[in-house]
Every structure is written in C-alpha cells, then in structure tokens.
C-alpha cells in the first residue's frame, strides 16, 4: 500500500500502465506489419452469393443520368487519370506528373521509377519486403500494356507524398502549408469507378475500355496499398467508402463483361481485398469520441462487404452492422429529420448512407422499425425545403463535400480560363493545362457540389414517396440503384 501510494503521488503508476499498454500495442503492430497468417484460413471459407442472374443494367439504360457531352468528358478524364477533387481542377495523377500547387506551396516528391515492369519488380523499391510478394502477384494480373499507374499516396494538389512503407497508426497528418491528407483519401475512395460503370451505358463504344480500366485500377490499388500500410488505411471511413464503391462498380460492370475481362484471377484478387477491407473496418470502428457520420460509413461499408459473399465471418459482420445501423438512427437524426451534427452537408452524407444501408437491410428481409423510416423521410423533406433555385442548398455548418456514392453529375461547362478566373485556388491552371498539351479554351466541367438531389433520388428508390417524385427526374440512376438493392438484384454473378 505504501508503494502504491508513493506511485500515485508521483503519477508513476499511470505512466507505468500507459508504457505497458504502449509496448503491447507496438508488439501487435509489428505482428500486423506482416500478413496475418489466419487471414487465408478465414478467407478460405468465403463463398460468393448464389442469386438469380438478374441485372440492374436494362433499367439503368432507360434512366436519364448525365447528358451525352458530360458523359464523354468524364469518361475521357477518368481514363486519362485526370481528377477534379476538393478543388484541384482537372489535374493528372501519375508518379511523374507535376502539380499545380496551392497558394504558392508546392512540393517536388516524385519517385524515380525507371519502368513499371509487368512482373512488378519495381514494387520492391516502394514497399516493405513483407508485402512485395503478394503485391507483385496482384500487379502481374494487369494485362493492359497501356495502363499507367496512379500515385495513390500523393496529395496531387500540393505534390506532397506519403509512403506506403509506414504503418497506418504511425503515419502523421502533416502540418505544412498547402498539404492536405484528404486529397489522396478522396481519390482512394474510388468514387469515379461506379460513375464510369454507369456512364458507359450511354456510350457502349467505351465499355471495354472502362472495364479494363476498372480491372487495372483495382489491381493497381491492391498492389501498391497493402492492408494497414500507408495513407489510405489511416481513416476507416475512407476504407468503408472505397470497398462499397469497388463492389458497386464490379456488380454494374460484370453483366456487360462479354469478353471475360473480369476473369477468375481478377475476382479472386478483388474479393480477397474486399475481405481485407471488411476485416480492417471491423477492427477499427470509429465510435469515439462519439458515433457520427464516420461510424455510419463503417456500418454501411460492412453491410456491403457482408452482402458480397457468405462465411461465418461475413455473417457476424452483417448481424453486427444491421443491429448497430438501426440503433444509430435515433441518435443521428431527430424526430423532425434534422441531423445532430447541425450541418446541411453532413445531413446529406449521413442520410445518404442511411438510405443505402436500409436498402441493403430490406434486400436481406431485415425488419426495420417504422420510426427509422419516418425520420429518414423527414430528413428528405428537410433537404427539399433547404433547396434553393438552381438545385443548391444553403451551407450551414461544416462542408467537406463528403459523399458515399457519386453517380449522377450535374453542373455546368466552363473553359479552363474561366475556371481559373472563378476560383482563386486554381491560380496558374491554364498554364498547367497548356503543359499537358491543352489550351485555355478547353472544357472544364464544374460540378455542382451543393445539391441534395442524389440523396433525394436514392431515397425515392427506397420507397417512392409522393413528395420526392421531382427528385427522380434528374437523379434516376440513384433511384434505380436503391430499388435494385432493395430487391437484392445488385448482388448477382
């Protein structure tokens, strides 16, 4: 007792306990830096779902979606690995691409890679030795000789680059001018993939190119982002959104893959990665300091993973996520439909995730209390009341442009020159475009990020309420997608 009193007096007891826990954590981290040997055993029990061979595709073909000129522009940009995320402008992302910089801050952190050999030997200079073997197996499956890999670890606005050699819990959020860790996070959500999968139904001539691009990008990501390593495993929310977008893209492209591009080797690599994502999410749930939109994304991501196959592990994840999602509804949304985070755009994000989550539960015949639907529909009514002419919503509270799926794209075409004049953060953009071989007069698609229409379209698909009918006109893709998930038509093979 005297010793304990002495330790408490000098706060040494607490320090010793913390030091002990830190040692335990470090030992655990060192174990996971190498592959968990139980992973392959657990994955061996995985079975793809056996569902009637229906497809969402014919219904999507009848939908409005994006106009033809927007469709061709977006497909062209995505196939050339040019992305406009978080105000970046349509910039190219590759290991050798230059960056525009942000308000005078620009970092030269390019990797000198002589060649991206088909066997993937170049990965040995990028990854820890423990990960090279499996990553080379994934890279070797890329059969598109014209594919040029994306630098997934890079903030392609400022040029700063993180390393996939770093354990995700050791990776620091850099406090340097112009550097934003959310830029690589946003790209690694892979939200452009399901958009491409839907766009090609309007332009069948691009179908093969888009399917090959999907295969290559997924394998590229798997090869260069081993589980729990690097910037793209830091935030569980991004992991959850990414795996949901990968699965959605696969199930939209699979029915039109007439040349067998998404073959068994690719499927094995893809669903192995899906398992890694689910395992990571379940082990890194974002419930603290309080459950918010991050936790909702974790639950919906788990539901997408667990709906993609059958195993005891998947059953456990599904049961957990379904119960938690239902129990979260009263804490996330008040009786009048407003979201507790007091932000119009977190309101959109959380309500959108609830909609897709409930659609998955309906598809599995899970009973959902009527009160949950009531609050969600009131959330839709609130979004409608907040929408002003021009399909924009007043910004109240925080807005990080967060979305779960990005399908229909609305906005307006500008020129590169007029975009630079409009947005201060695009200073020097026309010079950048000219270095890429373009001109100041080339098209610039300025997407409307202030619309709640995609959420309202999805909500109409959950149960077509009379008051939401207008939203289905411009956002019919979202409506048809949710209708298909409710009938479990999405998860077909």
- The per-residue DSSP string of 66-110 comes to S-HHHHHHHHHHHHTTEE--TT--SEE-STT-----BTTB-----
Contact of 83 with 445, CB cutoff 8 Å: no
- Across all residues in the chain, what is the average pLDDT? 87
Looking at the chain, the whole-number percentage of residues with pLDDT higher than 90 is 68
- Report the alpha-carbon distance of residue 97 to residue 322 in Å, rounded: 43
**Residue 151 · residue 94 · CB < 8 Å:** yes
- The total number of structural domains that make up the chain: 2
How many whole angstroms separate alpha carbon 299 and alpha carbon 318? 9
Rounded Cα–Cα distance for residues 341 and 452 (Å): 17
pLDDT score of 48? 56
* Segment 67-87, tens digit of pLDDT: 889 999 999 999 999 999 999
376 lies in the same domain as 485? yes
Cα angle for residues 224, 230, 232 (degrees, 5° grid): 85
Which among 262, 284, 306 is the end of a domain?
Answer: 284
Instruction: Say yes or no: 219 and 329 in one domain.
Output: no
Rounded Cα distance, 192 and 83, in Å: 9
255, 201 Cβ separation under 8 angstroms: no
For 166-209, how does the pLDDT look when each residue is reduced to its tens digit (9 = 90+)? 999 998 777 889 899 999 999 999 999 999 999 998 788 999 99
In Å, what is the CA distance from 479 to each residue of 311, 369, 405, 445, 463? 30, 22, 13, 24, 9
Say yes or no: 122 and 239 in one domain.
Answer: yes
Does residue 343 lie within any of the structural domains?
A: yes
Classify each residue of 33-51 as buried b or exposed e, where b means 16 or more C-beta atoms within 10 Å of its C-beta. bebeeeeeeebeebeeeee
Tokens coding 260: 């067998």
Measured in whole angstroms, how far is the alpha carbon of residue 193 from the centre of its chain? 9
Partner residues linked to 392 by β-bridges: 388
Domain end marker among 249, 284, 319:
284
For the cut 70, the answer to whether the pLDDT of residue 41 exceeds it is no
Q: Do 302 and 192 lie in a common domain?
A: no
Clarify whether residues 170 and 303 are in a common domain.
no
Model confidence, pTM: 0.90
- Pair 72, 413: CB distance under 8 Å: no
In a domain, 7, yes or no: no
Q: Collect all residues with Cβ–Cβ distance below 8 Å to 77 and sequence separation of at least 6.
A: 83, 84, 90, 445
Does 351 share its domain with 457?
yes
Same domain, 141 and 200: yes
| CA–CA gap between residue 337 and residue 332 (Å, rounded) | 9
Residue 155 resides in a domain: yes
Same-domain check for residues 257 and 319:
no
pLDDT reading at 327 higher than 80? yes
Residue 445's closest CA among 73, 65, 67, 156?
73
Please indicate, yes or no, whether residues 380 and 337 belong to a single structural domain of this protein.
yes
How far does CA 295 lie from the centroid of its chain?
15
Please say whether the beta carbons of 232 and 238 come within 8 A: yes
How many C-beta atoms surround the C-beta of residue 417 within 10 A?
16
Same domain for 368 and 478, yes or no, is yes
pLDDT confidence of residue 17: 61
N-to-C CA span, the chain:
66
Q: Does a structural domain hold residue 19?
A: no
Tokens of 279: 């395992």
Whether 38 and 126 share a structural domain: no
Largest CA distance in the chain: 81
Instruction: Please check whether residue 240 is in contact with residue 301, taking contact to mean a CB–CB distance below 8 angstroms.
Output: yes
Q: Is residue 112 part of a domain?
A: yes
Residue 364 in domain: yes
Give the DSSP letter string of 412-476: EEEEHHHHHHH-GGGTTHHHHHHHTT--TTSEEEEE-TT--HHHHHHHHHHS--GGGTTHHHH-H
Query: Of the residues 284, 302, 318, which one is the last residue of a structural domain?
Result: 284
Domain that holds residue 228: 64-284
Q: Does residue 251 register a pLDDT over 70? A: yes
Quick check: is 336 in a domain?
yes
The confidence band for 33, taking pLDDT boundaries of 50, 70 and 90, is: very low
In a domain, 213, yes or no: yes
Cis peptide before 289 (omega within 30 of 0): yes
Give the model confidence (pLDDT) of 386-404 as tens digits: 998 888 998 899 888 899 9
Token output for 451: 């619309």
What is d(CA 346, CA 44) in angstroms, rounded to the nearest whole number? Answer: 38
Backbone angles phi, psi at 105, to 5 degrees: -100, 125
Same domain, residue pair 110 and 148: yes
């Amino acid at each position: 007792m005297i010793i304990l009193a002495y330790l408490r007096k000098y706060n040494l007891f607490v320090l010793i306990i913390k030091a002990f826990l830190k040692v335990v954590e470090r030992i655990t981290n060192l174990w996971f830096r190498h592959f968990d040997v139980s992973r392959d055993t657990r994955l061996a029990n995985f079975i793809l779902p056996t569902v009637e061979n229906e497809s969402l595709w014919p219904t999507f073909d009848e939908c409005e979606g994006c106009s033809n000129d927007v469709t061709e522009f977006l497909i062209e940009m995505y196939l050339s690995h040019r992305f406009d995320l978080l105000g970046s402008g349509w910039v190219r992302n590759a290991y050798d691409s230059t960056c525009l910089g942000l308000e005078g801050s620009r970092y030269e952190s390019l990797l000198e890679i002589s060649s991206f050999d088909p066997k993937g030997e170049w990965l040995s200079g990028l990854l820890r030795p423990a990960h090279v073997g499996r990553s080379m197996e994934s890279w070797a499956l890329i059969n598109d000789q014209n594919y040029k890999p994306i630098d997934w670890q890079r903030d392609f606005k400022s040029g700063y680059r993180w390393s996939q050699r770093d354990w995700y819990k050791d990776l620091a959020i850099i406090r340097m001018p112009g550097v934003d860790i959310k830029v690589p996070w946003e790209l690694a959500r892979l939200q452009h993939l399901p958009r491409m999968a839907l766009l090609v139904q309007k332009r069948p001539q691009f179908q093969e190119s888009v399917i090959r691009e999907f295969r290559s990008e997924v394998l590229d990501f798997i090869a260069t982002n081993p589980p729990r390593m690097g910037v793209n495993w830091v935030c569980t929310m991004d992991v959850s959104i990414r795996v949901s977008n990968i699965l959605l893209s696969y199930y939209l492209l699979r029915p039109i893959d007439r040349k067998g591009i998404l073959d068994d080797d690719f499927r094995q690599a893809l669903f192995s990665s899906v398992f890694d994502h689910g395992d990571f999410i379940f082990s890194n749930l974002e419930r603290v300091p309080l459950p918010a939109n991050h936790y909702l994304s974790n639950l919906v991501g788990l539901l997408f993973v667990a709906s993609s196959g059958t195993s005891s592990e998947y059953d456990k994840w599904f049961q957990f996520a379904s119960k938690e999602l239902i129990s979260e509804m009263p804490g996330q949304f008040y009786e009048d439909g407003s979201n507790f985070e007091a932000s119009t755009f977190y309101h959109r994000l959380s309500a959108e995730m609830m909609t897709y989550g409930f659609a998955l539960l309906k598809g599995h015949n899970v009973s959902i209390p009527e009160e949950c639907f009531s609050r969600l529909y009131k959330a839709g009514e609130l979004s409608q009341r907040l929408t002003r002419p021009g399909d924009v919503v007043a910004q109240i509270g925080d807005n990080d442009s967060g979305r779960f799926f990005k399908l229909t794209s609305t906005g307006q075409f500008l020129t590169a020159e007029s975009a630079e004049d409009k947005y201060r953060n695009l200073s020097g953009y026309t010079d950048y475009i000219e270095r890429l071989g373009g001109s100041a007069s080339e098209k610039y698609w300025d997407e409307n990020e202030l619309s709640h229409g995609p959420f309202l379209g999805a909500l109409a698909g959950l149960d077509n309420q009379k008051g939401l009918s207008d939203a289905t006109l411009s956002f019919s893709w979202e409506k048809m997608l949710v209708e298909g998930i409710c009938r479990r038509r999405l998860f077909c093979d």
